Amino acid sequence: MAYDEDLAERIRELIAGEKGVTEKKMFGGLAFLVRGNMAIAATGEGGVMVRCDPEESDALVAKTPARLVVMRGREMQGWLRVDMKDVATKRQLARWVDMGTGYARSLPAKKK
């Protein structure tokens, strides 16, 4: 399944003022990277994949509609999946975009 291009455009609008943002097709979707670190992605499964502080993953899963990303049968701390219905409004999506870009911005820039 291809990623939702409307969702990708909504993310693009929310990060328009962020410096050092690039886009890259990955994980079957379109990822938005800040200084080379993935922040958020419109996924091919629908909804978004969000980068967060791994130490906050369990608390975020407990108090939000997010769940841990599972890759190769393993839950990945620091990576959250949020369904489309939970990013339907600008306010809902902005929360996750801010979280992902904030965490990506806190990481050292990746070398090209």
How many structural domains does the chain have?
A: 1
pLDDT at 28: 85
Secondary structure of residue 86 in the 3-state scheme: helix
CATH code at position 33: 3.30.1460.30
Whether 58 maps to a domain, the answer reads: yes
Q: Does residue 30 belong to any structural domain of this protein?
A: yes
Name the β-bridge partners of 34.
21, 37
pTM for this structure?
A: 0.94
Q: Is residue 66 part of a domain?
A: yes
- Would you say residue 112 lies in a domain? no
Cα–Cα distance between 72 and 103 in angstroms, integer? Answer: 24
Give the structural domain span for 77.
5-106
- One-letter amino acid for residue 100 of the chain: G
Residue 55 backbone dihedrals phi, psi, to 5 degrees: -70, -15
- Model confidence pLDDT, tens digit, residues 34-68: 999 999 999 999 999 999 999 999 999 999 999 99
Task: Judge whether 65 lies within some domain.
Answer: yes
Any idea which residue has 């091919």 for tokens? 44
Q: Angle CA(23)–CA(29)–CA(32) in degrees, nearest 5?
A: 25
Say if 53 falls within a structural domain: yes
